[in-house]
Amino acid sequence: MMPRWFHSLLAGLVGLVLAAPILVVAGVSLNAKRSLDFPPKGLSLAWYAEIFTDPGWRGALITSLVVAVLSAALAVAIAFPLAWFIWRWRAPWARAFEVLGMTPFILPPVITALGFLSFWATFDQYGEPWTVVVSHAVFFVTLPLVTLSLGFGAVDRSYVEAASTMGADDRTVLRTVVMPLVRPYVISGFAFAFVLSLNEYIVAYMVAGFTLETLPIKIFNALRYGYTPTMASVTVLFVLLTAAVFGLIARFGDLPRLLGAWVRQD
């Protein structure tokens, strides 16, 4: 326990440094002319409008959203039965698949990206848009797997006992007892995977970078061919979208618990 003023100062500084790049980018996005000045020269929201009117940016935004929704859904579809199986049955060997699901997230992303590149190239699917969805789903399966393991772990087994004593089979127990209890964890797992897929660059780029332009790929390409304030407005849009998703998780779920703190007893 350091003195209180020291901690307040540290927290203030950390907050400032974490916010600074975003604030400058937000300022730049308001420039009236095609320049990257801060403070902005003249005020205009034209660069925000351009995200939706320019076919290139709009297309990239839609591509990113579609990829993120589909891959997050697939990630949940892989994680849910796995987490349920481990919770339902006594099968220590199934843990090996859990470890397998955690690995891609811990390793440097470039490794997973290169693995997928070798894989899709070998099977002649390199550059197909759907391969990005499958790659992202496997890459981010860790997140729903973690939230769902926590979710099933929190289910009071006595409810399940009660239901099965009354004659409910596995399917009925899952639908009527377990599912309502783990639903918040399904949603937060989906949301985590969705946000990370939206922001992911290297896997998407290596798998289908030449045929499919997601927003991060589009921003990177734009960086190489000269800066425009649209990159700044897209960045601000992404930051807001990301913060909104996590805000919703925090609003409807228990964020400190999801991140590993004990549940408070009070």
Kindly tell me which residue out of 16, 49, 91, 179 binds other proteins, with binding defined by CB under 8 A. Answer: 91
Q: How far is the CB of 230 from other proteins (least distance, A)?
A: 12
Q: Is 36 in the site for other proteins (CB under 8 A)?
A: yes
Binding-site size for other proteins (CB under 8 A) equals 97
Kindly tell me which residue out of 216, 228, 230, 233 binds other proteins, with binding defined by CB under 8 A. Answer: 216
- Rounded Cα gap, residues 77 and 118, in angstroms: 25
Chain centroid to Cα 221, Å, comes to 22
Kindly tell me which residue out of 69, 129, 154, 201 binds other proteins, with binding defined by CB under 8 A. Answer: 201
- Rounded Cα gap, residues 242 and 194, in angstroms: 9
Q: With contacts defined by CB under 8 A, name the span among 16-24, 47-55, 146-154, 179-187 that binds other proteins.
A: 16-24
Q: Is 78 in the site for other proteins (CB under 8 A)?
A: yes
- Rounded Cα gap, residues 254 and 12, in angstroms: 25
User: Per-residue x/- marks for other proteins, 149-168, CB under 8 A?
Assistant: -----------xx-xx----
Q: Is 11 in the site for other proteins (CB under 8 A)?
A: yes
Q: How far is the CB of 50 from other proteins (least distance, A)?
A: 16
Q: How far is the CB of 191 from other proteins (least distance, A)?
A: 10
Among 152, 141, 145, CA closest to 174: 152
C-alpha atoms less than 13 angstroms from C-alpha of 219 in its C-beta half-sphere: 20
- Rounded Cα gap, residues 35 and 37, in angstroms: 6
Q: Is 56 in the site for other proteins (CB under 8 A)?
A: no
Question: For 42, left (φ over 0), alpha (ψ -120 to 50), or beta?
Answer: left
Q: Is 61 in the site for other proteins (CB under 8 A)?
A: no
Closer residue to other proteins, CB minimum distance, 2 or 55:
2
What proportions of the chain, in percent to the nearest 5, are helix, strand and coil?
75, 0, 25
Q: How far is the CB of 196 from other proteins (least distance, A)?
A: 5
**How many CB atoms within 10 Å of residue 163?**
17
